[in-house]
Amino acid sequence: MTARAEDLPARLGTSQNAVSNLEIGERRLDVLELRPLCAALGISVEAFVARLEHVLAKDPWRSTSPQGPYGRAPPGSTILTPMETAMHTPRITRRTFLASSAAVAASTTAHPIIAAPSRRAPSLSRSGTLTGRVIWPQGPDYDEARLTFNTRYSRFPAAVVVCDTTEDVQNAVRWARQQNIPFRARSGGHSYEAFSVVDDGLVIDVSGLDATVVDTARGEAVVGAGVRLLDLYRHLWNFGVTLPAGTCPGVGIAGLTLGGGIGFLSRRYGLTCDNLLAVDLVDANGDTLRASVDEHGDLFWALRGGGGGNFGIVTTFTFQVHPIAEVALATVTWPWDDVAEVLDAWQRWAPFVDNRLTASLGIANPGAGVISSTALFTGAPDELPTLLAPLLAAGTPSAPQIQSLPFMAAAEQLAGAGGGHANFKNTSALAYEPLSPQAISTLVDGLRAAPTASNLVGLFPLGGAIATIDPAATAFPHRRALFDLQYQAYWWDASEEQTDVAWVDDLRAAMAPYTTGAYVNYIDADLPNWETAYYGPNLDRLMQVKSAFDPDDVFNGPQTIPGHGS
């Protein structure tokens, strides 16, 4: 619960005057007073410190020291009071404080709300209308709402608006443009680089658009842009159908689809975006627009692999769906020393085997002791031993563990292997040819040099239905790649960050001569020449679509597609 202003004296057991003196910076705070003050304000001390760091990092003159950090505040600078820091606000008047406290109280009870005056930056909210569930920095849900899946990042948006309707999204785009602040769309929040959360801007969260409507007669599903993968699989399963998509339960359908969408059913049914029939979105003017083969065909082309956050904010996707029932899951492991032989056998088999079979390969560092392959097969389990034979001929594999189970149970098992929040750095590359012995030994050397047991390389086969589509037919360019590689590092102790990130950077560079491009959904802020890496020969057409549908580059952020002339 966030405190109302008038409750603070009672909560602190002090007078109104004492609170006022703190508010206006008249009195400074003893460190021992910080804890009860934070408690009274409904914010943890940790969150207070994080916000303070954020504010000071952006403007070191806004110090709690009247002289500024370097002894003298520059003319016109403001001094940050502890109360302001707790609320993540600039200096305020008592009137705006009370008004915003009322707004916070309203936001916890009324839904949807019309945006009340923002305490953080009162000028922001005076024009335009922000609707939906609006979460301001002083609100009780703010610290959860600003969380990013990759906990390596900690960002402080000016506000988060959770949209329940298309109108909420329209209002949010218009409002952010009126305020001239940056904004980002967020669906599942799983961007590797946390690109869906922006400092000092508006996060337009579509998680309230979470309906899925299945039309079994047409074999179609209309899916809200805020639906997450495991929920989607469960909903579709009730109708005996599914969609080829990713494995992680919390990944959002929007980010996944817009970048392509690779999963265990993609060799059979294509990328997630290959199953798209239509997309409804809110454009740069806040207007709604439908894209399909028949309407705005160029935009529809770009939305199938061009990556999230580039052309508009999607509100619904219409997909074709596929009947699904029982499947088989198989797992095999090998001793780590078999790595080169197994990798070579896998790459000559997994992209070419029967489309109904998809087998990933996971290679942790030698400390893990084993390497493993997980396979999903949509045919009869008794066909599997023959299909797996070329892979099992390599090295000294364990006896394959094969289970026959309902697809939904398989999806849950695969999702369970996806892991939880962590600090991480991942990047990707694509192999268009089998890796040469030299390339394999470079990869193996990289794995041997991994700094911790949680570094690994994941390989996932393409081919099958993905490769039957021309690379220029949608924006996803890597149709002819045999498999993708992900160089992955995870850490929980901040002291490991530098070595882990360096390991990923070094492996990416060492493997560059043997690989091509990268997958935009495994977005990497440090990737050299990211435009051509993600989009290859499709970049030019993507830039044309960008110029046509977002000429003012309203949807911009790190690694968004530039228009022609920008």
Ligand X SMILES: Cc1cc2nc3c(=O)[nH]c(=O)nc-3n(C[C@H](O)[C@H](O)[C@H](O)COP(=O)(O)OP(=O)(O)OC[C@H]3O[C@@H](n4cnc5c(N)ncnc54)[C@H](O)[C@@H]3O)c2cc1C
Window contacting ligand X (CB under 6 A); options: 18-26, 53-61, 184-192, 331-339: 184-192
Shorter beta-carbon distance to ligand X: residue 190 or 479: 190
Is 185 near ligand X (CB under 6 A)? yes
Strands 212-215 and 370-377 turn out to be unpaired
Is 196 near ligand X (CB under 6 A)? yes
For the record, the structure tokens of 456 come out as 């690994």
Shortest distance in whole angstroms from residue 243 CB to ligand X: 12
For the record, the structure tokens of 29 come out as 């705070």
Q: How many residues of this chain interact with ligand X, rule: CB under 6 A?
A: 33
Identity of residue 393: A
Window contacting ligand X (CB under 6 A); options: 17-25, 57-65, 185-193, 283-291: 185-193
Is 255 near ligand X (CB under 6 A)? yes
Q: How far is 367 from 247, CA to CA, in rounded Å?
A: 26
Strands 288-292 and 212-215 turn out to be unpaired
Q: Which of 92, 251, 273, 330 binds ligand X (CB under 6 A)?
A: 251
Contact yes or no for 282/225 (Cβ under 8 A): no
Identity of residue 256: L
Q: How far is 15 from 555, CA to CA, in rounded Å?
A: 48
Rounded to 10 degrees, the C-alpha dihedral 242/248/249/252 comes to -80
Is 191 near ligand X (CB under 6 A)? yes
The DSSP element (H or E) to which 169 belongs, if any, is helix 166-179
Shortest distance in whole angstroms from residue 222 CB to ligand X: 14
Contact yes or no for 452/507 (Cβ under 8 A): no
Q: Which of 104, 161, 172, 206 binds ligand X (CB under 6 A)?
A: 206
Is 278 near ligand X (CB under 6 A)? no
Shortest distance in whole angstroms from residue 434 CB to ligand X: 22
Q: How far is 373 from 379, CA to CA, in rounded Å?
A: 18
Is 351 near ligand X (CB under 6 A)? no
Q: Which of 252, 270, 351, 464 binds ligand X (CB under 6 A)?
A: 252
Residue 277, SS3 per DSSP? strand
Q: How far is 520 from 256, CA to CA, in rounded Å?
A: 10
Q: How far is 359 from 362, CA to CA, in rounded Å?
A: 10
Q: Residue 328's beta-bridge partner residues?
A: 377, 404
Is 248 near ligand X (CB under 6 A)? yes
Q: What share of the chain is helix, strand, coil (3-state, %, to 5)?
A: 40, 20, 40
Binding map of ligand X across residues 99-118, x = CB under 6 A, - = no contact: --------------------
Q: Which of 3, 43, 276, 313 binds ligand X (CB under 6 A)?
A: 313
Window contacting ligand X (CB under 6 A); options: 246-254, 289-297, 331-339, 434-442: 246-254
Is 408 near ligand X (CB under 6 A)? no
Shortest distance in whole angstroms from residue 561 CB to ligand X: 11
Window contacting ligand X (CB under 6 A); options: 129-137, 258-266, 403-411, 468-476: 258-266
Shortest distance in whole angstroms from residue 266 CB to ligand X: 8
Shorter beta-carbon distance to ligand X: residue 101 or 427: 427
Which residues, at least 6 apart from 144, have a Cβ–Cβ distance to it below 8 Å? none
For the record, the structure tokens of 521 come out as 């959904």
Shorter beta-carbon distance to ligand X: residue 196 or 515: 196
Q: Which of 48, 156, 175, 195 binds ligand X (CB under 6 A)?
A: 195
Identity of residue 360: S
Is 25 near ligand X (CB under 6 A)? no
Q: Which of 308, 351, 397, 461 binds ligand X (CB under 6 A)?
A: 308
The DSSP output letter for 422 is B
Contact yes or no for 316/163 (Cβ under 8 A): no
Shortest distance in whole angstroms from residue 208 CB to ligand X: 11
Shortest distance in whole angstroms from residue 314 CB to ligand X: 4
Q: Which of 40, 92, 172, 262 binds ligand X (CB under 6 A)?
A: 262
* Sign of the C-alpha dihedral computed for residues 448, 451, 454 and 457 taken in this order: negative
Q: What residues line the site for ligand X (CB under 6 A)?
A: 149, 184-192, 195-196, 206, 225, 246-248, 251-252, 254-256, 258-259, 261-263, 308-309, 313-314, 418, 521
